Structure 1
Amino acid sequence: MKDNLVIIHGGGPTAVLNCSLYGAIREAQQSGAVEHVYGAIGGTGGLLRENLLDFGTVPEEELERLPRTPATAIGTSRDALEAEDYARMADILAEKHIRYVLMNGGNGTMDACGKLAAACRGRGISVMGIPKTMDNDIAVTDHCPGFGSVARYMAGTVRELAVDVRSLPIHVVVLEALGRNAGWTTAASALAREQGGDGPHLIYPPERPFHEEEFLDEVKALYDRLGGVIVVASEGLHDEAGKPIVPPIFQTGRSTYFGDVSSHLAQMVVRRLGIKARSEKPGILARASIAWQSPVDAAEAEEAGRAACRAALAGETGKMVGFRRLSSAPYRCETFLIPIEEVMLGERVLPPEYLSAGGTDVTQEFVDWCRPLIGPELPHMARLL
């Protein structure tokens, strides 16, 4: 009897998470080495409840829709796991003849991946990690599946917003970007610019402390010169002491529900400067948009799923698939395997060379690094004035 394989999703969804799912399913099915390919319904909790979907029972047309479907078709979770949970999962895997486990997620999921790999040691079970996070904050890998699509969303949406503000330059617009401690998503808005002077005019990632008076001075100077100002600010902005500029609404474990930073900054502009201002907060719309899905991101996400499956079938365990950049122009990348200990709860933030000296913009080096990940050129906007 052949062995079985299970795929587990963890953490927040992305626009290409199902692409990795599709790649892993197809690679396992095509290998001829696997009897059943399962999906854990609702993450690690689904495995503990033995709630598994056999993809062999899913109609082909449904599987073929996966790459163009956002979020996760098998559900995900942020389960808080204890040592006994990992031991129980290892027992369940053995009982169900599941020899191969693919865990797809971000920092927390890679931590769980490493702990499950340790619990399965000596039992002939391979556990591999597939990277996933729109925050792009997993260590070691050049970038993560999920980021390219949210970067395309941010760049395209801010380009549209910039045209609107330029046509009626009477106010300041503050757009809030997702990202707790890493400003990759915030920084990606810089790719909206078509020429000098285009928005975003100010970019505030969480890697630099936020200074209220400097912000107001910058906004006032830009408003006096341009009339319309676009600010992109991270949800995780904090002051010099590391205190969030807006207290979190709710915190539990590693999960933080931030206050409304964009609204806070817009109200500050109105109160302190007497300038009309409004806030925009796409939130999870940014990670759920198939319309702005990057084809580069989708293809790499699928390959990450396939590569993890191939590695598991070859006997690898306790590793995560990563991406190594070979060239940015032309863009070329390859997958490689990273020991899971190097990425368990590690966090990769924007390096100093990607941030401008003043801390309110990014460098050309960042733009050159990010540009290939968002796919085809964004739509160019008419400019008559």
Structure 2
Amino acid sequence: MEQIMIQGNVMVGQSGGPTSVINASLVGVFQAAREAGVTTVYGMRNGIEGLLKEEYVDLGKHITSDLDIELLKRTPSSFLGSCRFKLPDMRQDEKPYRRLFAILDKLNVKYVIYIGGNDSMDTIMKLSAYALSIKSEIRFMGVPKTIDNDLAETDHTPGYGSAAKYVASAMKEIICDSDVYNMESVTIVEIMGRNAGWLTAASALSKGEDCAGPDLICLPERPFDAELFLERIEKLRKEKKTVIAAVSEALRDKDGRYVCEGDVSPADAFGHKIITGSALYLSDLVRRRLGIKARGIVFNTLQRCASHLVSRRDMTEAFMAGSQAMRAALKGHSGEMVIFRRVSNEPYQILMETCDVYKIANTEKTVPDAWITQDGTGVTDAFLEYSRPLIIGELAPFMVGGLPRHLFLREE
């Protein structure tokens, strides 16, 4: 059995787009460190970018009671703030690495835990490699986080289950609303997911005895044909008065051009184009070409910050992932990320392991082609069997004055 030997303090950070359960992972790190006897758990303000400016807090001064812990678990977004900062290749520019390690050494930090997605694992990969090159004893571990569910090697990611629950729930409500009037209409709902359609596919979970679910589901894994899309809507309108489509924000045609090419913003630090506008573009196209009332609905950040509708299972697994990463670091692991291995769907069982971050950083896991229907407008039962267990359970927020109460970072 691996022995835990406390050598110093902990530094934890959050990076990339937030989720409604990312703070549960933070609590998992904090509690595991405290239970192991770590003296101080520091938190980076705005990730690695903030740490480079020596912006950090002593979390023990901000999480002071069991109530704080429970509030923080139920608080959306990133408690410590976030960033999208790409470290350079250490062979080309060693300066930021020297600065970061000098700050960590000054604080006697021996364990760094970073909660994030693909790009955050790039940061863990580079920092652990630099530590190895200079023979530093600092350990670096990654905690998975992303609503996109696109991290390699792991069955799923904390954050996805809750976002999927929100998407499916909101879709049911939209479908109910669309049937109010006895008139033809088309509603196109845009859902997040840059190159992976996991979250858009989750709209299929809305289908049940009380809801027909979306008529069309368009994922970025398949090339999008606007003319074929219009043909399908034209066919559907002969069968029903309202048509509902769930589309990814990042639909591309066969040539790789975004449907909303004209609305694509400049790229972020990791070279990812910031995209939005698919639903609005397509609803306008339907109005112009088919002469039908059409509206575009963009969930945008709502799907990643709806802490009032989290999946209890997702919350629990987010906490477990943070705890596991902290314990692994204390045992000497470095350059790894916590992953989930699914044992079975019914009953739902998973195992937690760690995996070399080199297998994860800068890669994207997309929806398997076999899980997309042959005509590219829906998902198969295999996807539903995979995703249903992830949205199970509820965790009510603490309500004060009729509204959810959250924990916020007070200035020291």
User: Normalising by the residue count of structure 2, what TM-score does the alignment of the two structures yield?
Assistant: 0.89
Amino acid at match of 1:225: E
In structure 2, the partner of 1:382 is none
1:167 equivalent to 2:177? Answer no
Residues in 2 aligned to 1:123 and 1:249: alpha-carbon distance in whole angstroms: 40
Q: Percent of counterpart pairs with the same letter?
A: 39
- Aligned-partner residue type, residue 367 of structure 1: L
What per-residue deviation string (whole Å, max 9, x for no partner) do you get for residues 210-244 of structure 1? 01111001111111211001100000000001111
2:137 pairs with 1:124: yes
Return the match for 1:235 from 231, 242, 249: 249
TM superposition outliers: structure 1 runs of 4+ over 4 Å:
none
1:62 Cα offset (Å) = 2.8
Find the aligned partners of 2:171 and 2:61 in 1 and give their Cα distance: 42
Partner residue in 2 for 1:356: 373
When structure 1 is superposed on structure 2, of 254-263 and 353-362 the one drifting more is 254-263
| Contact in 1 for aligned 2:250/2:276 (Cα 8 Å) | no
What corresponds to 1:380 in structure 2? none
Partner residue, 1:274: 291
SS in 2 for 1:39: strand
How big is the shift at 1:92? 1.9
Structure 2 Cα separation of the partners of residues 22 and 130 of structure 1 = 12
1:140 positional shift: 0.7
Aligned CA RMSD, in angstroms, stands at: 1.5
Cross-structure match for 1:71: 77
* Inter-partner Cα distance in structure 2 for 1:133 and 1:259: 18
For the residue of structure 1 that corresponds to 2:344, the secondary structure is strand
The corresponding residue for 1:54 is 58
Structure 1's unaligned 5+ residue stretches are 378-385
The answer to whether the 8 Å contact 1:14/1:134 transfers is yes
Mapped to 1, the partners of 2:124 and 2:162 lie a distance apart of 25
For this pair of structures, how many residues does the alignment match? 376
**TM-score, reference length from structure 1:** 0.95
Aligned pair in 2 of structure 1 residues 114, 2: CA closer, same or farther (>3 Å)? closer
Equivalent of 2:125 in 86, 107, 114: 114
Matches within 5 A, 1:171-320: 171-195=185-209, 198-247=212-261, 248-253=264-269, 254-320=271-337
1:19-58 residue pairs with structure 2 within 5 A? Answer: 19-32=24-37, 34-58=38-62
Higher deviation after alignment, 88-97 or 142-151:
88-97
The 8 Å contact of residues 139 and 347 in structure 1, kept in 2 or not, is answered as: yes
Structure 2: where are the runs of 5+ without partners? 1-5, 395-412
- Residue in 2 aligned with 1:381? none
Q: Is the CA contact 2:21–2:159 (under 8 Å) kept in the aligned structure 1?
A: yes
Contact residue 90 and residue 119 of structure 1 kept, 8 A? no
Give the Cα separation in 1 of the matches to 2:303 and 2:210. Answer: 25
Q: In structure 2, do the counterparts of structure 1 residues 101 and 158 end up closer, same or farther at CA, with 3 Å as the change threshold?
A: same
| CA separation of 1:223 and 1:208: change in aligned 2, threshold 3 A | same
Looking at structure 2, the residues matched to 224 and 287 of structure 1 have their Cα atoms a distance apart, in angstroms, of 36
